[in-house]
Chain A
């Protein structure tokens, strides 16, 4: 940590040499980063002085292109699912001509049965998001129960809960879901989401357990224990708030898994009956031989939206990751400033023309540069 601070100072001092590098990787103004470090170091003192609003802002993940793209993608698709259905025709209206390519009347064309693809897509967004959300909530609650309780209590409780978690982790989820789904005669959206949630929590539980285990040994938790606080209170008040970023990441991950799982199930014809989701659209496209009739407007949009939503959520997850693990954020920036400094040094000490722009340096070049700096 100290090292990277020093390197930031170094970077700042070389700013004049290469003004392009005012922004470190991720598009962060460099000034912001030492500020966060300072904040972390003196958090106890600063907490009293900084207004609540700014404290919250300082705790949020940094603004970065990744985060912005992720938020735009996610909120765009969520908005489409919420508002979209009000502006499109009935997704089950079959009066349109069938298999029309995109046209001003039907922006994304029509299906074999004459359904408007855009309308189906909007209602499908609702269905898919609903499944993902419910499955995500169930998975996170379960992973909290298994992960944190196991990590906090340790001993036999941990042994048992970890065993259950690990078993759930290695038993392949989708075949299990397929088997369960095929026995249920009437699959509702809720039921599919429930099954997906019940089978998708193990990965998060493992992550949360290891975090809870390390938090348990912190001084402030020990202090709370000595003060006679009940375990439930310690978990909820002392440990849980520290896990929030991690929990958010696990939740988003569970939502992606839920949506992907539902799409796979629906494609196989095991999805929710009577609801429209992106998965059921793809299933209908397959049954309606969209591939051989070249109706790309039918099967490309649902999958593309799944991929974009997944991408958006993963990008948000990245930003959370970089927030939790500053090494991921600071190391590339530090490395870049070292390179900038080295290049700036070269310009001063040697009259050799540096052809590359100082950002992309291959290994041999770097070696050579290092030697030159050494001289």
Chain B
């Protein structure tokens, strides 16, 4: 139980740190983002209710005459009541609405692609590790090339070859233009989403599976030279049993422990990648916000991405505590 308590405490502290970062970054920066934002709103000829102005000033920090501490407390209260402010670019839609429209796209795409890449990488790593000392060892250095490829550049290549040169796959968007009414629950729509999501998902899988592959292969090689594996072989157990029940089962632990961390990289990569495909996810929204100096939207998205990654990490920690009893006992 101590393990879980420690993990929960850790994520609580991390969440607090993220919120505090989010509070202080706009306040530490030169200039007054709130003024820029309000000026921008006035320029497009919109009257701003005093409540909204206060909310914006509170989120982005500017001289409201209140002490920093009061601002901080009010800011936390607002965040926890789900008020992330309003967007300037799509005034007066609230930031939370915009985020809730785009988050499912990213979670679906990144989640599914990461899962596929994890499975391919782990299975491949087990196999190549088992075949250590054969030509398959040569696959490992080759996979670093894929790993070092910037996500967005791989996306550009895929678009160039599969959409521009040969129009096999659509270039941009997440579903066909014939669905004018937006997302709907139908087989045709689901098919369209898969068709449009293929290249983005392929990008994520191609650039991330190398990491899993390498980590798993190296752990397999180390584990396979452990004494208990030699014992298992000496007992005359079947190869498949030695491979899966003895070696792979232990070698997979670091990969699972590191899952959350790698997820951070995947999320970062996909943010830039979404721009290439104009995928209507959280990354594209973030970039729109940045390009339009929509600070409230930007802060809100940063917060949501962080919270989502934290949640994924937390779930992986729970799983890890479940499959590796040592972590529970040593706290």
Contact = CB atoms under 8 A, between A and B. Distances in A.
Interface of A: 3-4, 25, 66, 69, 163, 166-167, 169-176, 178-180, 182-185, 203, 256, 260, 263-264, 267-270, 282, 286, 291-292, 294, 296, 299-300, 302-303, 306-311, 313-315, 318, 321, 325, 327-328, 330-336, 339, 359-360, 363, 366-367
Given A174-B269, A327-B225, 18 more contacts: A171-B18, A178-B286, A179-B302, A182-B295, A183-B26, A183-B31, A185-B30, A264-B269, A268-B290, A269-B291, A270-B290, A291-B159, A299-B160, A303-B149, A303-B150, A310-B148, A313-B148, A360-B134
A331 B222 contact: yes
A102 B221 CA distance: 46
What are the 8 A-B residue pairs with the smallest beta carbon separation, nearest first? A310-B148, A303-B153, A174-B268, A336-B133, A183-B29, A335-B133, A314-B144, A332-B133
Contact of B141 (A66, A169, A173, A303): A66
Contacts, number: 195
Contacts of A264: 150-152, 268-269, 271-272
Contacts of A66: 141
A5 to B, nearest CB: 13
Contacts of A169: 261, 264
B93 interface: no
A246 B272 CA distance: 31
Interface in B209-264: 218, 221-222, 224-225, 238-240, 260-261, 264
B313 A170 contact: yes
Q: Which of A178, A185, A310 has the most CB of B within 10 A?
A: A178
B134 A175 contact: no
Given A294-B164, A303-B153, A310-B147, A170 B132 contact: no
28 contacts: A170-B14, A171-B21, A171-B264, A172-B306, A178-B271, A178-B286, A178-B287, A178-B290, A178-B302, A179-B25, A184-B30, A185-B30, A203-B261, A260-B148, A260-B150, A264-B152, A264-B272, A286-B156, A294-B164, A307-B149, A307-B153, A310-B144, A310-B147, A311-B144, A314-B148, A321-B218, A325-B222, A359-B134
Nearest to B146: A307
A267 B275 contact: yes
Contacts of B218: 321, 325, 328
A179 B299 contact: yes
B10 interface: yes
B298 A179 contact: yes
Contacts of B149: 303, 306-307, 310
B164 A263 contact: no
B121 interface: no
Interface string B184-206: 00000000000000000000000
A277 to B, nearest CB: 12
Interface string B23-41: 0011001110100000000
Contact of A268 (B134, B164, B224, B275): B275
B277 to A, nearest CB: 12
Contact of A263 (B17, B132, B153, B267): B153
Given A171-B17, A359-B134, A367-B239, A331 B224 contact: yes
